């Protein structure tokens, strides 16, 4: 098992990869104690069963230059293959500003090819590569050195079996004419907006019951402070202020350290020093936001406007379309999409691209009363009204 620890070794492997049609890639990282992921390993494999065709890159080695890998990312003649690529892409994008292109994600491809919702890598290894994975090293500390042979074997398995899976899925997509469907899905993965966290918008990830704009203004101000502080110190946001404590602060609006100390949910370290000062400043800022500039919650479809019977029919239709096409239902449309449709909303993702052909067109006809649903045996069918 080859472990690359020198820039020259990485360059040599990447030079070999330029002659191949694809390269499989995976990472091992830690994020429990940091805001940004700490990249510990990159695993790479090119076609062929020879041992030298799969390597581990030790990214914790001092002065290791990943430029040859980023050059591969930009080589449009080589497909970069990942499984569940989002976290891997985030790491590489934040480190280099580069997205691998062209890209192939076997999890998305598997959902299009009938393997279910968010299918796990080990499932594809078992069903397609006809192998099993030793998962004993799955939750080890990848930052500790030296790596054990078991860790190396586990890490390499994430890219060696991926070659078989990619070749199987890509061939199936070509045969079914669905390769473009996967490419549509990957556009979101390679958008910088997916990974650029704007602290000003970080409040939207919090679940709040109140629609009070002043309360939301305080939540937004506190969340912006928390995000900026967590990024600057590279610590998890919940190590600064936990979500429930943030909402408590927005409700109680402490004005000084004495009032702040009465918080039931605030961490001890947040009651003093930089964090405490930042909290009080954020609350003051939130209270001073002009009424016209206060944020508003993006309301979901009003349940009062949802035709519940129509929503149920749309769920039946979605299940039928999923079974007929072999595409995972969650990939076609979410529960929120169906409720929005039943409330008259036509600005949803399920009415665009390949989804429109598979489900959206028929769904709109059902909503407009142009078709109905019938059952023939175990099959759901549509008929004209």
pLDDT digits (tens, 9 = 90+) for 248-305: 999 999 999 999 999 999 999 999 999 999 999 999 999 999 999 999 987 655 555 8
79 within 8 A of 104, measured Cβ to Cβ: yes
Residue-wise pLDDT for 152-204, tens only, equals 999 999 999 999 999 999 999 999 999 999 999 999 899 998 888 899 999 99
Same fold? 2-194, 199-293: no
DSSP string, 85-120: -HHHHHHHHHHHS---SSEEEHHHHHHHTTS-TT--
Tokens 């142009």 found at: 370
Domain regions of the chain by residue span: 2-194, 199-293, 303-384
> What are 70's two structure tokens?
């980023």
Q: What is the mean pLDDT of the chain?
A: 94
pLDDT at 376: 87
C-alpha radius of gyration, the chain, whole number: 25
Collapsing DSSP to helix, strand or coil, 34 comes out as coil
Which residues, 6+ apart, have CB-to-CB distance to 376 below 8 Å? none
User: Which strands, in side-by-side order, build the sheet including 2-4?
Assistant: 2-4, 54-58, 38-45, 22-30, 79-82, 103-105
Kindly give the confidence (pLDDT) of every residue in the chain, 385 residues in length, as a single tens digit, with 9 standing for 90 and above.
899 999 999 999 999 999 999 999 999 999 999 999 999 999 999 999 999 999 999 999 999 999 999 999 999 999 999 999 999 999 999 999 999 999 999 999 999 999 998 899 999 999 999 999 988 888 899 999 999 999 999 999 999 999 999 999 999 999 999 999 999 999 989 999 888 889 999 999 999 989 999 999 999 999 999 999 999 999 999 999 999 999 999 999 999 999 999 999 999 999 999 999 999 999 999 999 999 999 998 765 555 588 999 999 999 999 999 999 999 999 999 999 999 999 999 999 999 999 999 999 999 999 999 999 999 888 999 999 8
**Domain 2-194: which CATH class?**
alpha beta
Which residues, 6+ apart, have CB-to-CB distance to 5 below 8 Å? 58, 61, 64
Strand extents, DSSP E, 242-352: none
Helices 308-325 and 335-342: crossing angle, nearest 10°?
130
369 within 8 A of 196, measured Cβ to Cβ: no
Give me the numbers of helices (H) and strands (E) for the chain, helices first please. Answer: 16, 8
> What are 134's two structure tokens?
């030793």
To the question of domain 199-293 being in CATH 1.10.150.80, the answer is yes
């Amino acid at each position: 098992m080859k472990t690359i620890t020198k820039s020259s070794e990485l360059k040599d492997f990447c030079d070999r990869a330029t002659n191949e049609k694809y390269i499989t890639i995976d990472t091992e990282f830690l994020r429990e104690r940091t805001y940004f992921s700490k990249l510990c390993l990159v695993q790479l494999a090119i076609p062929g069963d020879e041992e030298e065709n799969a390597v581990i890159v030790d990214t914790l080695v001092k002065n290791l230059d990943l430029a040859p890998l980023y050059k591969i990312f930009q080589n449009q003649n080589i497909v970069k293959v990942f499984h569940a690529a989002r976290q891997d892409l985030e790491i590489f994008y934040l480190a280099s500003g580069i997205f691998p292109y062209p890209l192939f994600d076997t999890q998305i491809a598997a959902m299009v090819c009938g393997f279910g919702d968010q299918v796990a890598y080990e499932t594809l290894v078992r069903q397609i590569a006809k192998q099993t994975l030793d998962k004993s090293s799955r939750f080890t500390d990848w930052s500790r050195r030296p790596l054990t042979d078991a860790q190396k074997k586990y890490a390499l398995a994430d890219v060696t079996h991926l070659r078989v899976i990619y070749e199987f899925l890509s061939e199936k997509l070509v045969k079914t004419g669905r390769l473009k469907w996967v490419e549509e899905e990957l556009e979101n993965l390679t958008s910088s907006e997916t990974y650029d966290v704007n602290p000003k918008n970080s409040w939207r990830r919090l679940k709040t019951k109140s629609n009070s704009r002043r309360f939301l203004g305080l939540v937004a101000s506190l969340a912006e402070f928390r995000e900026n502080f967590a990024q600057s110190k590279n610590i998890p946001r919940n190590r600064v202020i936990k979500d429930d404590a943030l909402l408590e602060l927005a409700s109680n609006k402490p004005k000084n350290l004495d009032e702040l100390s009465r918080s039931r949910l605030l961490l001890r370290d947040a009651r003093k020093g930089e964090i405490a000062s930042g909290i009080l400043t954020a609350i003051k800022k939130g209270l001073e936001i002009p009424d016209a500039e206060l944020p508003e919650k993006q309301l979901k479809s009003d349940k009062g406007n949802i035709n519940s019977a129509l929503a149920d029919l749309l769920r039946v239709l979605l299940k039928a379309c999923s079974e007929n096409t072999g595409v995972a239902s969650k990939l076609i449309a979410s529960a929120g999409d169906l409720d929005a449709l039943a409330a008259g909303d036509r600005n949803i993702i399920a009415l665009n691209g390949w989804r429109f052909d598979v489900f959206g067109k028929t769904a709109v006809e059902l909503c407009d009363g142009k078709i109905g649903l019938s059952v023939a045996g175990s099959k759901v069918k549509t008929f004209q009204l």
